Amino acid sequence: MNLSTRVYGLLLLAYPPEFRQEFGSQMLQVFRDSYRAEARSGSVPSFWLRTLLDLILTAAKERADRSGTKGIFMNRRSDTMVLLVAIGIIIIAVVIQRYAMRNNVAFILLFGYFLDALIVSGVIGNLIVFLLNKTTKLNPLRTAISVFAAVDAALLLLIVVLSSVAPVNWIGVLVGYLVSYVTWVGLHFAWRMPNRNQALNSQP
Amino acid sequence: MTKEKPEAWLPLTPAMFHILLALADKERHGYEIMREVDERTEGKMRVGPGTLYGSIKRMLNDGLIEELDERPDPDLDDERRRYYRLSDFGRRVAIAEAERLDKLVKSARSKKLLSARGT
């Protein structure tokens, strides 16, 4: 089993357990067959992009179907606040990163991988999360957990591909992405908890 | 339990209609369905594994397709593959959807959006 198939096998964890049990091995086999064909035609990156988009959208849908929930709706105020906080974190990270690079601040540059992951994953992940929250009735917290996992996995895969061009400090990259994932999911978790409690308390 | 009238399922999602079309002439496994859709649409419609099996799950539940108990040609194929075929009800739904689309195309033609030859 090649690396791509192993990664896809891990990403299947985004689907609900029953769905995975029923169709997981079939999906993995279809992925393997498709990957072989795409590798022959040399279009692996676009294949991965399509596959990840398909995974994000369908995993979220299967989870929503399974829970039978209409999702916890974001109200406009909550939506705006979490968006502003996310933009604020990204801007602060960019400013710190530029300052450290311009002045060669070694202490901050130690966290360079984390800042890179925080910025790139934050921009792409939050954009997808907010689009999904605006256009679907999925649970926002579950959406954030799945989307950031998929985005980080895709970015790590891209780094694997690019590692043949430039050397990569794998420990730094992995720790950076892990901390970035915890930060973004933590932000969405912290923001959703009061809403969730309100929703639970309002049930008869 | 399936609804009696095929029209109750319309309009089908593009993915579901393409899967029903792929199964209209013969039973196929998942990858074969993907390839058939890809070739028939000249790469314009590509069904990912999630969309494919999400649709298959719903169509199995609704009785539009059936899973085969035996593989069509066990000597030539991987035993882990699962094959699907159109049910009688699924065929009626596919026909109803094709007729709906046909009416739509005729309307477009009457409004001069399409020429008589369909170009």
**What pLDDT digit, counting tens, does each position of B6-34 carry?**
988 899 999 999 999 999 999 999 999 99
CA distance B49 to B53: 6
A64 and A85 share a domain?
Answer: no
- Please list the residues that pair with B85 across neighbouring strands: B66
Domain that holds residue B78: 10-93
Q: Examine the fold and report which residue of A10, A44, A68 is the final residue of a domain before the chain moves on.
A: A68
Question: Residue B3 domain-assigned?
Answer: no
Question: Residue B81 domain-assigned?
Answer: yes
Give the count of domains, chain B.
Answer: 1
Domain that holds residue A7: 1-68
Chain B positions touching A22 (Cβ under 8 A) are 57
Subunit contact B46:A50, Cβ cutoff 8 A: yes
Task: Find all residues with CB under 8 Å of A126, minimum gap 6, and list them.
Answer: A83, A86, A90, A184
**What pLDDT digit, counting tens, does each position of A44-76 carry?**
888 888 898 898 888 878 877 776 544 444 455
Give the count of domains, chain A.
Answer: 2
Subunit contact B49:A51, Cβ cutoff 8 A: yes
Question: Residue B37 domain-assigned?
Answer: yes
ipTM score: 0.87
Measured between CB atoms, which of B30, B48, B57 is closest to A51? B48
Q: Phi-psi region for residue B110, left (φ > 0), alpha (ψ -120 to 50) or beta? A: alpha
The better pLDDT of the pair A196, A35 is held by A35
